[in-house]
Amino acid sequence: MANDLFGYPLRRFFWSPAVFRGPSGTIALMDWLETSNAHIFKVDVPGFSKDEITVQVNEANVLHIQGTSGKEEAHGKDAIWHLAERQTGKRGFSRELELPENVKLDKIKAQVEDGLLTIVVPKDTAPRPSKVRNINITSKL
């Protein structure tokens, strides 16, 4: 059972902590749920507009989610910071996950609303051909 938890597709999710943090050290908190028709990712992206977020899938079925904001808060030269717990200046985040093989990559949809990025990755329910191939054995090559 432990092998299922850390196996494909969650391997990258658990074993790549560096991808959780952006250049400013922020973590994009995420939920991943699976229904009978799709994988649904919900990512907290407060303060990011849709133009500051990139969602991509590469040829290895790895979903990349990245947010970058170049906005810096202007407070004037005489401002003195006493405490800075919220992100100030340029900020960003990055997440990546290996998607299962049975998804429709060309049907992925993403939406951001009220600081929540929702990505829906539909499942491909068509039967897949077996990856097992029988090799004919001869007496001579």
pLDDT in tens, 16-64: 444 444 444 566 899 999 999 999 999 999 888 999 999 999 988 999 9
Structural domain contains residue 98? yes
Residue 128 has pLDDT above 80, yes or no: no
Contact between 91 and 25 under an 8 Å Cβ cutoff? The reply is no
23 in a structural domain: yes
- CATH code, domain with 31: 2.60.40.790
Please check whether residue 6 is in contact with residue 15, taking contact to mean a CB–CB distance below 8 angstroms.
Answer: yes
Q: Is residue 47 part of a domain?
A: yes
Q: pTM of the predicted model, to two decimals?
A: 0.68
The answer to whether position 16 is within a domain reads: yes
Q: Domain residues for 32?
A: 10-73+88-122
35 inside domain: yes
Which helix (H) or strand (E) segment holds residue 112: the answer is: strand 109-113
**Domain for residue 59, yes or no?**
yes
- How big is the CA angle at 64 (ends 59 and 66), to the nearest 5 degrees? 150
Q: Is residue 78 part of a domain?
A: no
pLDDT surpassing 90 at residue 78 = no
Q: CB of 4 within 8 A of CB of 76?
A: no
Q: Is residue 80 part of a domain?
A: no
Give how many domains the chain has, as a whole number. 1
